[in-house]
Each structure stands twice: as structure tokens, then as C-alpha cells.
A and B are shown apart, each in its own frame.
With several copies, the nearest count.
Chain A
Amino acid sequence: MYSKTLIDHFRNPRNMGRMENPDAVGKGGNPVCGDVMYIYLKIKDNRIEDIKFETFGCAAAIGTTSMITEMAKGKTLEEAMKITKKDVENAVGGLPPIKRHCSNLSADVLRKAIEKYLAEQKAKSGKKKGK
């Protein structure tokens, strides 16, 4: 059912846990549906310096979130935002069809985190300018 890679990420999740004072947080999913991901980012010079995650959900949800943290770490925000669901799916070696939609949300969550960060930065610099 699951690839070796996915199972490895499920069993040995990378970058797992909450982050103190993150620069950005992305949240996605819904406990009612059974999959919730939190992605925490430390950003420096437009680059993801550190990344952490917490996931409530099935092996696919945990494994793909773990995977994206590896993929995103060290990338620029622009690069990181280009990571798609499909990229994550490919990186974990494929997913059962039924898992593609609801459990593979990490790319959205990461993008949301970055967008929020960028919007905040903009607002801040706007404020600065506005001052």
C-alpha cells in the first residue's frame, strides 16, 4: 500500500515537533476529517533556515509532512512555494489514490505559511514606509 520511503518518513519523521518562536506557522486540515498539519518556519534572508511539523493523521499525512520539511529546508521562499502536491507525492514514492486528496495537504500548508509570512512582512514594511 505505502512505499518504503513513505513508511520510513512515518516511522522516523524528520523535523518533528513544535517550534519555539517561529517566524511563520501554517495550519491545514480539520480534526473532523482526521488530518491536521502544522508547519513551523524559521526564515532568514528569504530562506527557510529551519522547519518543523506536527501532524494528526494517517501514515500518509505524517509521512508527506515529514517529507516536505526535508524538501523545503534551505530553499528560498520562492523555491519552497513552488513545491506541489504532486512533487511531494513523487518524493514519497507515490500514494494510494484514496490518500492523494485528503492526506497530502502539506504543500498547501507550507505555501499558506509562506504567504502569510510574506503578507506580514509586506504589512510591516508598508507600516515602516507609511511612518
Chain B
Amino acid sequence: MKVYMDHAATTPVDSRVVEAMEPYFSDKYGNPSSLYTAGLEAREAVEDARGRVARLLNGAPEGIIFTSGGTESNNLALKGVAFANRKKGRHIITTKIEHHAVLEPCEWLAKQGFEITYLPVDEHGLVKPESLEEALRDDTILVSIMHANNEIGTIEPIEELAGIVKDHGAYFHTDAVQTYGKIPVDVQKMNVDLLSLSSHKIYGPKGVGALYVRRGVRMDPLLHGGGHEFRKRSGTENVPGIVGLGKAAEIAEKEMDRDAKKLTRLRDRLIKGALAIENSRLNGHPEKRLPNNANFVFLFVEGESLILELDFYGIAANTGSACSSKTLEPSHVLSAIGLKPEETHGSLRLTLGRQNTKEEVDYVLEVLPKVVGRLRQISPFKTDFVMEE
């Protein structure tokens, strides 16, 4: 059995999305900046997609800046606002559990003379509003807090957090890469000025995303050039990609509620079953979590081994283990919620998607104890991490 349960990493492109994109490769291939018919046709397709993407977050179409993905959207938001507003202030607030695509731009900005405050989170991964209140300063120009965490699935109280910043004069950005298209996202209600989203997390193609920018936000472009995307992001528009994202947004608008209900049921079944394995634990918030996210620790086994072993059974999953990362550092998110390094090694993330079934969940629940059991058999640790001398 082949079971893909890594939808937080990427998703298959929906066949309806592929179909929508297809004409724009070799048939309607015009450059949207061109004046002739083929160009106008491409322009229309781009603007149509812009409208759909905007509607799913209740924002103005002119606020949608198409980018190459979530990483670019985050970089544009952070660096764009930082460079354009540095005469006003050089202080930026974010959290310890952001995606690298927020943390790394922040670290780079720190080298350019900006000062970054990283807010802590509680054991479930929630940012405490008081900590934001305390961190805000006169020279704070930007607050960036993710809508939901990609590893542990915790959903942050953005409405409340953005409310605190609202009267302060700093811009509020949220990385909604893991929520847009999965749970309701409403820039008006959430009161955010900038919001990042990515296509390949919602059954759209890789290589395209968007940044929502509220009217009036002062920001520099990150990609300078021909002045595309309302002079905020240059480069010939990725027409098929944008059309694909538009279609993915359209489908999400219609099917999101139904999907979320189904996924929540599957997720809860998965969590209940997996926690029957001894020395296991759920990471993230018990309720305030993405409908499709389950994240566990299985003590005494190591995540990369777990992933490879599951792969032999046809199951695609993820881990926050250090051994599986390019930097050999354990997940900063699991560390931030208080896990010890030796615990983070045993983390397993299963993220469900539209195509997953109850049978697949049951198959995973049948395989998982075997796999964990076998690795524990190989492991010198059975009840504790102490190394006997």
C-alpha cells in the first residue's frame, strides 16, 4: 500500500488544477505584458486567478502579489517592509517557532542593523499575547507571527495578536502557508497587513505563491525589474503557475469545509491509535491544531530511521530529527515547546490530505507499532536515555 502522509511538505497537484494550467504552456503562451491578443489573453488569466486568490482571504485583488512561493513571500514581506521603513525604526518582532523562511531573513536583517525579538511559546506552541505586548517598542516596525505552525500544527490567535499591534503603528505579517486553503483565512477579520501563502501546499503547482499586501503598506520590492505585480515584484509572470494557484484557491473555497471535517476525523483516529504505543506523546495543541496535522514523539528511536522504515512500508512521513536535517540541528519548534534534544530525535509528523482514507490511517496504525518496536529492539535505550557506565 502507498500512503502519502506528508501534505505539510507538499501536495500532489489536483487533476483539475493540472487541467486548468495546461492550455497556458504551448497554446496560450503569451507574455501578459504584451499588447497583442495572446498577451491580453494571458493577462486576463492572471487577473482572473488574482481575483480567486483574493476572494479566499477576503482581500482586494490589487493586494495580491504573485511570487515564486512561500519563501519568497516571507522574504518580500520582511525585507520589503524593513528596508522601506528603517527610518521609522529598526525593531522587528517574531517568534521562536517560525518557519526558516521567516527566521533566516530575520537573521540576515539583524546583520543589516535590525534588531529582532523572538517571542517564546508555551508547551503547546502558543504565543502569549502578553509577551507580544511587552516586546512592542516605539521603534517596532513589523511583527511577523505565523498563522499555524508547519511542524506541530498549532494555530496561533492571530486576531488577538494583530489587535494588540493595530494601534501601535507597526505592520503585522502572518505566514499563512499552512492555513490558506485549509482553514478560514480572512485578512479583514484577522486584521493583518501582510499574509504569505504558497500554492504547492494546497494542491497547486510548486514554484508559485503570493503575498497579500494591504493597501498603503510601505514596502520595497525584493525582485526589481520591469515593474510587474503593481511594481512590487518584477519578473515575467508564471502564467500557468498562477492559473494553477487560482484554480487551487477556487477548489479550496468550495471544498475546504468538507475536507477539514473529514481530515479532523481521520487525524483524531490517527492520534488515538498512535498514542496507544508506549512511550509516545503528542506534540502541539490538543485542540487548536490544523485539521490535518499529527505530530508525535516516540522515545528511544530516531526519526530518520523511522522515516526510512516507514518508507519500506510505502508510507511517506516526516520528522524533526536532527539527523534528517541539512544542518544536523534538531527542530527549533520542538525545542521551543520544551522537548529535550534526545526527545526531538524521536519525532514523527504525519500530515493528512484530501486523498487519504480511513483504510490508509488504519494501515499506518498497523505498521507504526511494528516499526517503532523494531527500532527500539535495535536501540540500547528501552526505558530511559541514561547511558550506563
Tell me if chains A and B make direct contact, with any CB pair below 8 A.
Answer: yes
Asked whether B345 is an interface residue with its Cβ less than 8 Å from the other chain, the reply is yes
1/0 per residue, CB under 8 A from A, across B355-386: the answer is 00000000000000000000001111100010
Chain B residues contacting A130 (CB-CB under 8 Å) are: none
**Judging by beta carbons under 8 Å apart, are B302 and A54 in contact?**
no
Shortest B251–chain A CB gap in Å is 30
**Judging by beta carbons under 8 Å apart, are B379 and A58 in contact?**
no
**Judging by beta carbons under 8 Å apart, are B324 and A54 in contact?**
no
Report the nearest A residue to B322, measured CB to CB: A34
**Judging by beta carbons under 8 Å apart, are B308 and A102 in contact?**
no
Q: Contact residues of B with A, CB < 8 Å? A: 35, 40, 300-302, 304-305, 308-309, 312, 321-324, 326, 328, 330, 340-342, 345, 377-381, 385, 387, 389
Given known A-B contacts A34-B345, A54-B378, A102-B328, A59 and B308 have beta carbons under 8 A apart: yes
Q: How many residues of A contact B (CB 8 A)?
A: 31
Query: Secondary structure of the A side of the interface?
Result: mixed
Shortest A8–chain B CB gap in Å is 12
State A59–B340 Cα separation when bound (angstroms).
Answer: 21
**Judging by beta carbons under 8 Å apart, are A57 and B305 in contact?**
yes
State A6–B213 Cα separation when bound (angstroms).
Answer: 34
**Judging by beta carbons under 8 Å apart, are A56 and B326 in contact?**
no
State A55–B304 Cα separation when bound (angstroms).
Answer: 13
Chain A residues contacting B308 (CB-CB under 8 Å) are: 2, 7, 10, 59
User: A34 touches which one: B312, B321, B378, B380 (CB < 8 A)?
Assistant: B321
State A34–B347 Cα separation when bound (angstroms).
Answer: 12
**Judging by beta carbons under 8 Å apart, are A103 and B323 in contact?**
yes
User: A62 touches which one: B305, B322, B340 (CB < 8 A)?
Assistant: B305
Q: Contact residues of A with B, CB < 8 Å? A: 1-2, 7, 10-11, 13, 16-18, 27, 30-38, 54-62, 98, 102-103
Given known A-B contacts A58-B305, A103-B323, A36 and B35 have beta carbons under 8 A apart: no
Shortest B47–chain A CB gap in Å is 12
State A88–B102 Cα separation when bound (angstroms).
Answer: 40
Chain A residues contacting B342 (CB-CB under 8 Å) are: 31-32, 34
State A102–B380 Cα separation when bound (angstroms).
Answer: 17
Shortest B43–chain A CB gap in Å is 8
Given known A-B contacts A31-B387, A98-B328, A59 and B380 have beta carbons under 8 A apart: no
